[in-house]
Homo-oligomer: A and B are copies of this chain.
């Protein structure tokens, strides 16, 4: 039996950006888009090019994405204006998008109260917008806002809106449960009705989680005929969030009810990235990953009950609904020595570190990793620190330099003309080749000053570290209060745009930062100096 193709549409960068407390930079957006593209998502909705500089910048770089159709979001042209006479609409048309998704009202009440135009004007605006997008050589789509509420209030008009788009040539007409209040059985009934008018392979679903049914609503629409599913990574989105693609994708691939009938752009091989991709978004947002997240949470395959644990070891399949490895997650049982060892081995392989499988150094390394994790270290986002530690314990990293002491001073005071100013100054005492070098640096803050002082003079190693640039610096407080444990992640880059990530942990943010900065310098020296000698 040939499977029907179902298309995945990600709106993390657009609707996800509406979530409370979310503020993506263009670099954040690029990183997320790259992850989505590599996972096999069909459509990436990038934002509102033309309407804000971040999104315009993002779209200008979209050629980096190989597979996904890069989609711009905007409103249909305003009623009473021609397509070329509406500056907002023109800006979207001129953006560098592969596809354009317009949003239009499909609830007659909103047309009357919010737009204050006649129902027909709205229909006309929909079809003219779709035609214009098509004429510009972009794939046209329409988001029908408040479709389900609209349908319940005036089914004919809601359908007219959808049909206007379809008849004008829209590749997709997306039924949006904008306020998130519709329940699965209603979704299924209404989508079934709509699919009698518009073919399912032109219908999409956009669900919100306001009743905790966004995933179920999306699956209900799929069963009823819709073939484009919209959602976001980790369900990020306005209010309670959008349908969670991180939960939907494994269900579509691993549950026979769906896997036997449908095909998606994500392959079973790519599915193993999904736990990692969920974490990437958390990293970008500087959030603690949800321990309990379906499929990808650290507790998703953890079990506490003793009886279950031993039974799981006997035969995991009878206690686990899917294989944790299929989603790149792992089973967590208190006796996981074996799993740990094989994890370490596969990491060493990834860094091309040659070591015999029975080398006792591996057990010491495993022990060290466990101890450090208990202290708050996380190596998932800090490859370079992990590699340095592993190579050190296996004996291959020379000691390039030693920091004997440092001192950082931050002072706020009135300057000579009576203004309040803050100065940050750091001094370091470094030992290179048995020679003591003292350096002093100034910066915008204590960490920056320390970084400046550290990289000022490393003697004969100086030439190797001069092109290090610190491109990101993240701080996470692991427990409450200002005296809590702090984890610092530093992202560094060299002139060839190689990037590496290091970590430091301490109750003192300066110490934690110092550790990550030192790891970054040592990693660079190991890679460029040690390998050259």
Contact = CB atoms under 8 A, between A and B. Distances in A.
Contacts of A293: 240
A264 to B, nearest CB: 16
Interface string A219-245: 110010000000000010011110010
B414 A240 contact: no
Contacts of A470: 480-482
A65 interface: no
Interface string A27-40: 10000000000000
A52 to B, nearest CB: 9
Nearest to A209: B294
Contacts of A507: 444-445
Given A294-B211, A318-B110, A20 B508 contact: no
A310 to B, nearest CB: 9
A321 interface: yes
Interface string A157-195: 000000000000000000000011111111000000000
Which 6 A-B pairs rank lowest in CB-CB distance, beginning with the nearest?
A181-B321, A216-B216, A445-B508, A475-B475, A20-B299, A444-B507
Interface in A48-86: none
Interface in A472-510: 472-484, 486, 490-491, 506-510
A470 B293 CA distance: 28
B255 A211 contact: yes
A49 B184 CA distance: 39
Given A211-B255, A334-B20, A219 B183 contact: yes
Contacts of A311: 113-114
Contacts of A413: 405, 407
Interface stretch (A130-138, A301-309, A360-368): A301-309
Interface in A113-132: 113-114
Interface stretch (A2-10, A266-274, A446-454): A446-454
Contacts of A408: 409-411, 446
A278 to B, nearest CB: 12
A108 to B, nearest CB: 11
A312 to B, nearest CB: 10
A365 B18 CA distance: 24
Counting every copy of the chain, the complex holds: 2
29 contacts: A20-B298, A21-B381, A146-B318, A149-B318, A179-B321, A180-B321, A181-B321, A183-B251, A184-B216, A209-B292, A209-B294, A211-B321, A238-B302, A239-B297, A286-B474, A406-B412, A422-B510, A445-B483, A445-B506, A446-B508, A446-B510, A447-B482, A451-B482, A470-B481, A471-B480, A472-B481, A474-B477, A480-B491, A482-B490
A380 B257 CA distance: 42
Interface in A279-323: 286, 291-295, 297-305, 311, 314-315, 318-322
A244 B473 contact: no
A260 interface: no
A407 B409 contact: yes
Interface string A365-385: 000000000000010110000
Contacts of A319: 179
A275 interface: no
